[in-house]
Chain A
């Protein structure tokens, strides 16, 4: 495979995952990634696994609510 075609395939692969994970809802991606970092620190670093277990679903609900409010305001 030529370098040009390889680069095109890499870009297409990256674009697919970008559209799949970020797409038109970057707020969901950002909130989930930040929440995972906090949960990882709470569970693995601070040994507060019980608190981490509460933060994770609360963050998921928060991400959904933020995204819905953003969508409703834009319409």
Chain B
């Protein structure tokens, strides 16, 4: 029974990090592909590699330091951050699914980036504009992945599993992205974002409670209970907002 609950919480952790990394990777890849197609692949790849290098250093430097923080204090702070972060993701996902906000359109982002890049001048030698654009895209999207890896990995004392899950997501999305090139809009990004939001909020609630010495019924299994509760709440809120929006449209 213990082995089953431990592996189920590890599975939820790996799934949360994998999906968070995959969603951010799709966004970063859109920018890199736009840079590569417009300005050439060499500078795009150099910018991507430099950003991945800096992100790796951040995880390597901060991960072992965070593991030394007392577990209850770490879970309280990390849980609070995850709770806020997860609720922000859920808010965006619900607003998009109910039509109050436009769905994340990778094609539109790609076209906007291409227009922006075509307007920039070229310098001889290394294309600095392409390098900076690719670096910024990968670094800024990757920073959220680093935060997810560090907070989820250190609080669960499974930093290695979190890092591997993120790397698998980066490799898979990178490989798929390279093969489908500009068809990243086919990725069900909002659905993935909803799942990540539910998982982050569940971890946030669970760990904040543990940090304040709340003993959850069923121990680690309660994590799955939170996932189910928040999934139902998100479905109910999205359905209500969709109905409210239709009502407003009929009145208008």
Task: Name A residues whose Cβ lies closer than 8 Å to a Cβ of B.
Answer: 20-21, 23, 25, 28-29, 32-33, 36, 39-40, 43-44, 49, 52-53, 56-57, 60-61, 63-65, 67-68, 71-72, 75
Q: How far is the CA of A68 from the CA of B204 in the complex (A)?
A: 19
Assess the A36–B208 pair: CB atoms within 8 A.
Answer: yes
* Residue ID in chain A nearest B147 by CB atoms: A20
Assess the A36–B213 pair: CB atoms within 8 A.
Answer: no
Assess the B100–A71 pair: CB atoms within 8 A.
Answer: yes
Assess the B233–A61 pair: CB atoms within 8 A.
Answer: yes
Chain A residues with Cβ below 8 Å from B205 are: 56-57, 60
Assess the A68–B208 pair: CB atoms within 8 A.
Answer: no
Assess the A65–B237 pair: CB atoms within 8 A.
Answer: yes
Task: Name B residues whose Cβ lies closer than 8 Å to a Cβ of A.
Answer: 80-81, 83-85, 87-88, 90-91, 94-95, 100-101, 147, 201, 204-205, 208-209, 212-216, 226, 229-230, 233-234, 237, 241, 244-245
Assess the A68–B87 pair: CB atoms within 8 A.
Answer: no
* Residue ID in chain A nearest B204 by CB atoms: A60
Assess the B81–A64 pair: CB atoms within 8 A.
Answer: no
Assess the A68–B94 pair: CB atoms within 8 A.
Answer: yes
